[in-house]
A = this chain, B = another copy of it.
Amino acid sequence: MSVTMAQAREVLAAQPFSVLLGTRLTNFGPDGVTLELTARPDLRQQHGYLHGGVVSYLIDNAITFAAGAALGPDIVTAAISVDYVRPAVGDLVAHAWVVRAGSARAVLRCDVSTANAAEPVLCAIGQGSVAVRRAPMP
């Protein structure tokens, strides 16, 4: 059931959408996971900020990977909530961690910050829940 960082990186590399966006997994463990993403011009919206959808993708994916560290790989993300707090103007770091994991479901939080300044600047917060996939009914 336990997932290593190498295995988690293989999962990320098997996600074509994460490859398209250039997402990197830089931390993976019981304290949570960290995904990073470079602020490429093609990830922007019309005002030059990173698109909110890039931020919501990072929250979705960081929460899912952090749940995988607790629940194993056979999971499905049920819901996420996102509050945007500032426009995202640089490379992004998403840190997600388990708030509570049972045998069937985990609830998690996530912070997304920009990392180019001297200290991280928070851009968005999220929370969500992830469930173990159930075997189909006989």
Contact = CB atoms under 8 A, between A and B. Distances in A.
Interface of A: 11, 14-20, 41-46, 50-54, 56-61, 64, 76-87, 99-100, 103-105, 107, 109, 122, 125-129, 131, 134, 137
Contact of A83 (B54, B58, B84, B107): B107
A16 B41 CA distance: 7
A100 B85 contact: yes
A50 B17 CA distance: 8
Contacts of A54: 17, 57
Contact of A53 (B42, B56, B87, B125): B56
A79 B126 CA distance: 10
